């Protein structure tokens, strides 16, 4: 059985005081990490204060990092700094990073390789645009994204990767892929993993769905065979809705 993983992606939201109010509100109200992994991915400037105050069953993640450890990269964050800060996870290749900041499959791959060097678990985002969904090339798009992102990782490392399938047309739009649609593509991703790395690896990798996930649809999404979690934007910003998501199975 793959352990569910629900990760909130705050994007560019929250002041320090708001972040602290949030973490204090959720710390004692999430389930054991023997049951589910609960992750909060926050802006870099908030990471240290959250790590210092995370509860026993909450883990903090970053939203991006550079693939170099140091150098003349103004505005970037070093994986060494993230490791030193104490975060556990890092989101790589989110569609907003790809669209707005020129993230590519190649840079995602470099970052994934570097993440493991610094004991960070990558949440690798993949997903198609609306035009690609409508012209029937969803599988080809996610196939290429997955295989390029994982290139060079060992099978044991790949087992630790979290893949987040986020159809671009469903992110922040209020539109959600039906549970069946989401499960179909997550299942295809698992097929790609089995083709490339074998059934043992494919069965171990956790695949999240992301795209307008809300408390009212989380149970149905999580009931699908190949959906092991969710990467959540807007619904992760308030403690009440975030707790409804991470405690969906209670």
Model-level pTM greater than 0.75?
A: yes
What tokens does 51 get? 């790590």
Alpha-carbon span 42 to 150, nearest angstrom: 24
Is 94 a known active-site residue? yes
What integer best gives the mean pLDDT of the chain? 96
Q: Is 10 annotated as a binding residue?
A: yes
pLDDT for the residue numbered 172: 73
How do the residues of the chain divide into helix, strand and coil, expressed in percent and rounded to 5? Answer: 45, 15, 40
| pLDDT tens-digit map of 215-227 | 999 999 999 999 9
Q: Which residue has the tokens 């992102």?
A: 149
CA atoms of 162 and 19, how far apart (whole Å): 24
- Is residue 152 a known part of a binding site? no
- pLDDT for res 175: 73
Place of tokens 């994934």: 112
- Whether 122 and 145 have beta carbons less than 8 Å apart is answered as no
- Told to judge if 216 belongs to the known catalytic residues of this protein, a careful annotator would answer no
pLDDT, position 250: 86
Asked if residue 172 belongs to a known ligand binding site, the reply is: yes
Task: Over range 94-112, report the average pLDDT.
Answer: 96
Residue 103 reports pLDDT greater than 80: yes
Residue 187 annotated as binding? no
In the DSSP assignment, the letter for residue 237 is S
The CATH number of the domain covering residues in 5-247: 3.20.20.70
What percentage of the chain reaches a pLDDT higher than 70? 100
| Marked catalytic residue, from 66, 94, 96, 103 | 94
Domain chopping of the chain, boundaries:
5-247
Quote the pLDDT of residue 170: 79
Q: Are 4 and 37 in contact (CB under 8 A)?
A: yes
Beta bridge partners, 164, equal 125, 208
User: pLDDT tens for residues 123-158?
Assistant: 999 999 889 998 999 999 999 999 999 999 999 999
Q: Given 96, 103, 128, 166, which residue is catalytic?
A: 166
């Amino acid at each position: 059985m793959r352990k569910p993983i629900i990760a909130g992606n705050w994007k560019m939201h929250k002041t320090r005081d708001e972040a602290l109010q949030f973490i204090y509100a959720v710390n004692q109200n999430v389930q054991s990490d023997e049951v589910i992994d609960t992750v909060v991915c926050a802006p870099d400037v908030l990471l240290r204060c959250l790590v210092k105050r995370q509860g026993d069953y909450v883990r903090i993640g970053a939203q991006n990092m550079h693939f170099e450890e140091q150098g003349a990269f103004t505005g970037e964050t070093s994986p060494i700094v993230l490791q030193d800060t104490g975060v556990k996870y890092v989101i790589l290749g989110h569609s907003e990073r790809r669209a707005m900041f020129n993230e590519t499959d190649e840079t995602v791959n470099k970052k994934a390789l570097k993440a493991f060097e610094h004991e960070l678990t990558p949440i690798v985002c993949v997903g198609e645009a609306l035009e690609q969904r409508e012209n029937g090339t969803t599988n080809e798009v996610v196939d290429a994204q997955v295989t390029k992102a994982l290139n060079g990782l060992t099978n044991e490392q790949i087992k630790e990767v979290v893949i987040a399938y986020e159809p671009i047309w469903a992110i922040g739009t209020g539109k959600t892929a039906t549970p069946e649609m989401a499960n179909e593509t997550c299942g295809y991703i698992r097929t790609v993993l089995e083709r490339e790395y074998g059934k043992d690896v494919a069965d171990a990798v956790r695949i999240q769905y992301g795209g307008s996930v809300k408390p009212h649809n989380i149970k149905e999404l999580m009931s699908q065979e190949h959906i092991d979690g969710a990467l959540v934007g807007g619904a992760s910003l308030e403690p009440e809705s975030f707790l409804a998501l991470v405690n969906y199975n209670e």
